[in-house]
Structure 1
């Protein structure tokens, strides 16, 4: 399926990382607010939320908006007071005291290092000439696989070559959630997408980027028309807008670093969809051109929960 709507990204520099594997494995929670900045206990919380089926976005160990909104999602689903603040009851409900190890070892394979893209050009016309808009680094590919911020993954494995045969420490976010969604709410003010089953039970919740005031996301109710995995992208300046001064229509190749990432969930409102992104850490910082942007791993999970005809409601 070719995609006909660009949701632009704004780039910003990321934070520095200093945690070690020991900082994470030895971290404990004794009550009170999470530490400011980056901490081992926040890494644990993010992984536990991910395993529980409520996405914290990227796992990076930083206290912030995406993790706090995930906490609110877990509290809502499990019947706790919804305040986005960790306490001992929520910690216990996440199974923290009996959880499997938060970190695990992983050995880089030849396949991990294969089929990388040399460089992603900035210009849309140059992107259209590539065979794929793939990962450019092994560390980028593995960070997405384990739901981690790439800088955090590299800092956790300081000095690692990321070459085949090298052994890394990575987080273990658990298995992909299974189920069937009957309805999805896009909660604009919360910047979360929330899926419900046919009985009205909340299944999961994901952090998202939505449209700005100038290029807003849709209002009201639409429905899923189709799901495309690894989609190409149709650049149509006459329908949407001109990028990089390029006025000709183009088809961009598929790949995780493409404009819509690894999945496009087509909506009944023309040119709008739910899709992935190449900058998952920026979901709460960036606005889209109206589409709803997820991390690639979250929208891949959602793609298996929804099907044609599922309701998608945009709420304030």
Structure 2
């Protein structure tokens, strides 16, 4: 069976705060490790009242220090917000503290709005157009330092921290293929070009020192509960969050509500169906059928599961049920 991993945005729920969100992330990571998940990734977002993982490398250190075997990484670092040397030093430090356990996923979106992006960088000289060059520069810092090299990442040089390219369009697929890097597609919120991007990446992949064959990881949303009805109610939290974001009113992660879809406008309904097409909410049997079909259809090499649930205990239960489904699928071959 292909590996399953966990994607976490460290959600700040209504009535909660960032401190509680970060404690929950560590607790969830410990459960994920116990349940045999392969990686635990955290995502960089800024100026969002519902996300506590803005300082992503610090949160990775928090989670890695509280676990022992699971890989921990960024899904991802939005590289246009940072100088490549700074990221090399940060992740070189993480790799030195937690050898063999750190991943670095890179995206070219800002993870924020344009005003926040300016506040992060103080200028707009570094932008998405320079992303390929920034990736190459960053990769260079992880190689062994050469004689006379004027700028080195210390720590970082020689550590060869595994790099993934993240994307939701064909651009990332082309770059990952050209550089011979593993590719993670954000199908959990932008699935529109998933099939095209996977095909392009596999077709154009060039083997490299980092990777001999293409490797595709796909993001999915899974909300698993004892019954379909319970799961669908938990699912309304993410539905509300997406609608609020599209309406320009993001906020803390909302609690579930009854009959949410009943009052949706046709536009909101269509937006949710499009954005959340690679998602399942249901009982273990419903989740099993959906996952079996999704894996067969996409031939993914790995799945990274986001389980956006308001109640932390229900979120832990969801990844437990999902792990049981994973094991059932593995036994079935």
Shorter-chain TM-score range: under 0.3
Tell me the TM-score normalised to structure 2 length.
Answer: 0.24
Higher helix fraction (1 or 2): 2
Tell me the TM-score normalised to structure 1 length.
Answer: 0.25
Structure with higher RCO (Cα < 8 A, 6+ apart): 1
